[in-house]
Amino acid sequence: MATRVKLSGRTAVVTGAASGIGRASARLLAQRGCPLVLVDKDEAGLAETAEGLTVPVMTRTMDVSDRWAQQQLAAEVKDWQGPIGLVLNNAGVTVSQTIAESSSEDLEWVMGVNLWGVVHGTQAYLPILLEQDSGVIANISSIFGIIAWPTQAIYNASKFAVKGFTESLRHELHETNVSAVCIHPGGIATNIVNNARIHQDDLGRTDPEALRKDFEKVAKTSPDKAAKTIVEGIEKGKVRILIGPDAVATDVLARTLPVNYFSVIRKLQPLIRR
């Protein structure tokens, strides 16, 4: 049986907090009385997230791929507002390009934020959580950490890596009161595609406008709904959280057809493009 987790009143660290899931999660955690540490590269977006919150708030404009910056911030947070209840490693970016035409620059960008941001965030706060013998590290993977998708190889690689990293951590923490949670959102109505690096190839497989329209059609879960699923799931003691009906369906499809799942998806693609 899962052990319930108390978040209320405990400090929460949220990366990617300037918009989307990060902003919605921060505001929901504020309703639970959690002092907030909000991290993002978007200073203006951070200010918008923090506006009107009635809990103590620390904002930090920072690139999560910067290991030293993460370590410095964790040292400040340790003695800031009492015990840390949650570290939500949420910051994420994506690129759309075929493997044959992908650049090392895009690879380093996506891995820097999506994977190294998670790794550095985990390693910065884990010693603190172990010392206080409580707390949750929650890492955002994706449904693309469950299945692979053409033109999303770099993003897939980062999100599969987050899944493996987080599950390994969960096993290592088995006999402690610290838990590791892996989160797999489906289509969430955020700015991730608008902020993506989309490179159009000669065959039109990565047409920017088509991709944005397709994303709008499948991104049916709001950030507020995603945040509610995350926070309530963590409080219930879940260690694997699927967000949205598409995430649940994707998980079932991957389990049922672990090799041939894309044969089903391919048949559905014309429906998405209508």
Catalytic site residues? 155
Q: Say what angle helices 208-218 and 261-272 make with each other, to 10 degrees.
A: 100
- The alpha carbon of 40 is separated from its chain's Cα centroid by a whole number of angstroms, namely 13
Residue with tokens 């172990």: 130
How far is 230 from 243, CA to CA, in rounded Å?
8
How far is 81 from 270, CA to CA, in rounded Å?
52
How far is 22 from 87, CA to CA, in rounded Å?
11
What separation in angstroms does the CA of 120 have from each of 63, 136, 190?
A: 11, 15, 24
Burial letters 134-156, b for 16+ CB under 10 A, else e? bbbbbbbbbbbbbbbeebbbbbb
- The alpha carbon of 236 is separated from its chain's Cα centroid by a whole number of angstroms, namely 19
Residue with tokens 């990617």: 16
H-type alpha helices, the chain: 20-31, 43-50, 67-78, 104-110, 117-132, 153-172, 208-218, 223-235, 245-256, 261-272
Residue 177 burial (CB count, 10 A): 13
Smallest CA-to-CA distance from 163 within 247, 81, 224, 95 is with: 247
Smallest CA-to-CA distance from 85 within 47, 40, 33 is with: 33
